[in-house]
């Protein structure tokens, strides 16, 4: 982050705050509680305590899927907090509710949905819960199916909703196995198939286009969990299989995407969208006190979640205005840079004598690899050492236990394919990762050499 950015940010925020205050200038003064020396000392203490974090915003943080919010999102969120709107109802957030409707419409347009019903949520978990709740209302008692690489919350959500859950095996690229899925569909017990476009472990993209063909033969609902990978629909550098899956999104029944991942938003900001607005009838309820100021649609009337931060909608709307969701635009180029970085890192790993890479390149911007060793136990131990040594060099990676079948079959020929190995993993989701890749690689090589040395001593 440029050193002058906070000063510029605070100047812009101060000017915007003054403009906001003008809108309420006719009210009697109501001074805010003073922030005195004690408050200053407390804030200083808070700042010091926050040192106990990884440098999530820096390109050398290449571990988990943590992407810093755009400065305009930070400023817009802080500005909205002067009002502290609640987008559960128009009475709690008139302006922010209008901005939410526009922001969600921009998401729907990005997915090429001419009509939709949707809203923001606190995150992907609640957004997915809502999508599966609607699915369960439409197919009561029928099972939810998702791949064995889908996010673990789907099985939890199904349990909460009282719906059976079935895990569908994946192929050696981490994509849902179509033969296994069709075998399940033939039982006529599956009401909803969750198709993941961007699994959180390895970024795999389920074959949505092929699953839609199965929907033509069997009756089931398709929910797309694109909480992590949804924005890649804008990217021009996807492999053909992934591109075909993303191009099929307009025909899905519902979709979840998290603007607080690739959408440059603060936590928590998720979104759920339904292609058929008629599902809104399932939300009907009567509240004796929440809805009284308008006959217009209240977002709380199409949401299971009640109180929601209107500031999230304001921040998302402002970011979309600055960085529209346009193929080839600045926002899309940032996604493409992350994918290019992942492909380049994977190429270097594949040519290294120290690592083993999967048989296929990254599908999005997540890279995973194993440390070369004759045994899975040795590989796992070495990965842990490399992870620790890299952190000492300020390179922050992640670890993941993944099936060995994701690697070439001759990697550990004597080990059963259902076994797992601890891998190193990197999420290259910041656009800056591409220009920092040489420095990331230098640290990774140094950490690997030191790890190997420490094991032999």
Q: Say what percent of the chain tops pLDDT 90.
A: 84
Is the pLDDT at 366 greater than 80? The verdict is yes
Cα 33 from chain centre:
38
* Mean confidence (pLDDT) of the chain: 93
Does residue 153 share a domain with residue 238?
Answer: yes
Can you tell me the distance from the alpha carbon of 258 to that of 255, in angstroms, rounded to the nearest whole number? 10
- Count of other CB atoms within 10 angstroms of residue 203: 28
Taking residue 345's Cβ as centre, other Cβ atoms within 10 Å add up to: 24
Same structural domain for residues 314 and 337?
no
Is the pLDDT confidence value at 146 over 90? yes
Whether 18 is covered by a domain: the verdict is: no
Which CATH number do you get for residue 264? Answer: 3.40.640.10
The helix (H) or strand (E) run that includes residue 369 is strand 366-371
Indicate whether 6 pLDDT > 80. no
Task: Say which residues have a Cβ less than 8 Å from residue 161's Cβ, sequence separation at least 6.
Answer: 129, 132, 133, 136
Range of the domain at 419: 330-456
Over 50: is that where the pLDDT of 97 sits?
yes
- 183 and 205 in a single domain? The answer is yes
Give the closest residue to 433 by CA, choosing from 53, 58, 3.
58
Residue whose C-alpha is closest to residue 96's, from 111, 116, 82, 114: 82
Residue 50: is its pLDDT beyond 60? yes
Q: What is the mean predicted confidence (pLDDT) over 317-325?
A: 98
The predicted pLDDT at position 57 comes to: 95
Q: Are residues 258 and 403 in the same domain?
A: no
Q: What is the pTM of this model?
A: 0.94
pLDDT band, residue 416 (cuts 50/70/90)? confident
Q: Is residue 250 part of a domain?
A: yes
User: At residue 292, does pLDDT exceed 80?
Assistant: no
305 falls in which pLDDT band (50, 70, 90)? confident
- Domain check: are 237 and 351 in the same one? no
Nearest of 254, 249, 308, 269 to residue 132 by alpha carbon: 254
Residue 343: CB atoms within 10 Å: 17
Exposure string for 369-392, b = 16+ CB within 10 A, e = fewer: bbbbbeebeebbbbbebbbebbee
Q: What is the pLDDT of residues 224-263, one digit of tens each?
A: 999 999 999 999 999 999 999 999 999 999 999 999 999 9
Look at residue 294 in the predicted model and tell me its pLDDT: 45
Q: Both 252 and 144 in a single domain?
A: yes
Q: Given this model, what pLDDT does residue 291 score?
A: 47
For residues 214 and 178, give the distance between their C-alpha atoms in angstroms, rounded to a whole number: 9
- Within 13 Å of residue 360, how many CA atoms lie on the same side as its CB? 18
Average pLDDT of span 23-47: 91
Whether residue 30 lies inside any domain: the answer is no
Q: Which residue has the higher pLDDT, 379 or 457?
A: 379
Same structural domain, 379 and 302: no
Residues 97 and 87: beta-carbon distance below 8 Å? yes
Whether residue 431 has pLDDT greater than 90: yes
> Are 250 and 346 members of one domain?
no
For residue 47, tell me if it sits in a domain: no
The pLDDT value recorded for residue 327 is 96
Contact (Cβ atoms closer than 8 angstroms) between residue 412 and residue 375: yes
293 band by pLDDT with thresholds 50, 70 and 90: very low
Distance CA 428, CA 367 (A): 8
CATH classification of the domain holding 448: 3.90.1150.10
Percent with pLDDT over 70 in the chain: 95
């Amino acid at each position: 982050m440029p050193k002058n950015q906070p000063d510029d940010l605070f100047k812009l925020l101060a000017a915007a705050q003054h403009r906001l205050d003008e809108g309420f200038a006719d009210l009697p003064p109501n001074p805010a509680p003073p922030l005195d020396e004690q408050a200053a000392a407390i804030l200083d203490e808070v700042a010091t305590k926050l040192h106990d974090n990884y440098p999530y915003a820096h390109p050398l943080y290449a571990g988990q899927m943590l992407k810093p919010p755009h400065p305009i999102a930070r400023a817009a969120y802080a500005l909205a907090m002067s009002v502290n709107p609640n987008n559960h109802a128009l009475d709690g957030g008139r302006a922010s509710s209008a901005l939410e409707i526009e922001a969600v419409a921009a998401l729907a347009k990005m997915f090429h949905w001419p009509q939709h019903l949707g809203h923001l949520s606190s995150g992907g978990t609640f957004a997915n819960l809502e999508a599966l709740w609607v699915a369960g209302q439409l197919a009561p008692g029928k099972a939810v199916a998702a791949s064995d690489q889908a996010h673990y919350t789907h099985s939890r959500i199904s349990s909460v909703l009282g719906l059976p859950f079935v895990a569908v095996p994946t192929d050696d690229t981490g994509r849902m196995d179509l033969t296994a899925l069709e075998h399940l569909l033939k039982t006529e017990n599956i009401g909803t198939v969750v198709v993941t476009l961007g699994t959180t472990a390895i970024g795999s993209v389920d074959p949505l286009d092929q699953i839609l063909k199965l929907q033509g033969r069997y009756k089931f609902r398709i929910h797309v969990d694109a909480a992590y990978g949804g924005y890649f629909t804008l990217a021009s550098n996807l492999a053909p299989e992934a591109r075909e899956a993303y191009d099929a999104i307009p025909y899905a029944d519902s979709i979840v995407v998290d603007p607080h991942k690739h959408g440059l938003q603060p936590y928590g900001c998720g979104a759920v969208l339904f292609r058929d607005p008629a599902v809104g009838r399932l939300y009907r309820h009567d509240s004796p006190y929440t809805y009284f100021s308008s006959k217009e649609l209240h977002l709380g009337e199409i949401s299971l979640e009640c109180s929601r931060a209107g500031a999230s909608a304001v921040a998302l709307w402002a970011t979309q205005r600055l960085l529209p969701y346009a193929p080839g635009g600045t926002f899309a180029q940032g996604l493409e840079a992350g994918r290019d970085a992942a492909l380049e890192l994977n190429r270097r790993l594949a040519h290294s004598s120290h690592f083993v890479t999967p048989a296929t390149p990254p599908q999005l911007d997540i890279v995973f690899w194993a440390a070369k060793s004759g045994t899975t136990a040795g590989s796992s131990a070495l990965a842990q050492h490399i992870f620790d040594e890299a952190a000492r060099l300020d390179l922050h990676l992640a670890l993941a236990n993944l099936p060995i079948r994701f690697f070439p079959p001759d990697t550990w020929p004597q080990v059963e394919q259902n076994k797992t190995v601890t891998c190193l993993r990197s999420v290259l989701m910041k656009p800056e990762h591409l220009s920092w890749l040489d420095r990331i690689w230098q640290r990774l090589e140094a950490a690997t050499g030191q790890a190997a040395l420490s094991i032999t001593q």
